[in-house]
Structure 1
Amino acid sequence: GVPAAERERVFERFVRLDEARTRDDGGAGLGLAIARDVAVRHGGALTVREAAAGGALFELRLPAPPGGG
């Protein structure tokens, strides 16, 4: 999961919460920042909260296109 105090921070560029991971292990800390930016630019949102079964639940919401199609 993502600790409550860190939930907004995961959307910042180059932020990686797992200090044990190196850049060689994968990830530059850009994916969630890019995903949120794309969502916002399309009138949507990307959020994170605690999942009912434990762990993190990321939710992407985008508006329906005009005409509902």
Structure 2
Amino acid sequence: LPHVFDRFWRAEKSRSRRTGGSGLGLAIVRKLVEAHGGTVEATSTEGEGSTFALRLPRERPPSGP
């Protein structure tokens, strides 16, 4: 779980790019959410599933000085 938002990381080592994607999807989600001043997190319980939470501010924070 600590690496789920890392680029190219796959939880299941038997998967390859051909059979399991590139490992970029959640890394892109994290960067997009952070670019809008938000946060993203994941929790997981083995055998029950995972929950992903995206939090975005109502207003975009000011950029620059």
Please indicate the TM-score interval, normalised by the length of the shorter structure.
0.7 to 0.9
User: Structure 1 residue 65: deviation in Å?
Assistant: 3.3
- Alignment RMSD: 1.9
Higher RCO (Cα < 8 Å, 6 or more apart) = 1
Return structure 1 stretches of 4+ with deviation > 2 angstroms.
none
Q: Could you tell me the percent identity over the aligned residues?
A: 42
Which structure has the highest strand share of the two? 2
Structure 2 residue ranges without an equivalent (≥5) = 61-65
Who is 1:63 aligned against?
57
In the superposition, the TM-score normalised over structure 2's length comes to: 0.77
Distance 1:23 1:50 in 2: 24
Output aligned runs, 1:1-69, within 5 Å: 7-50=1-44, 54-65=48-59
In the superposition, the TM-score normalised over structure 1's length comes to: 0.73
Structure 1 residue ranges without an equivalent (≥5) = 1-6
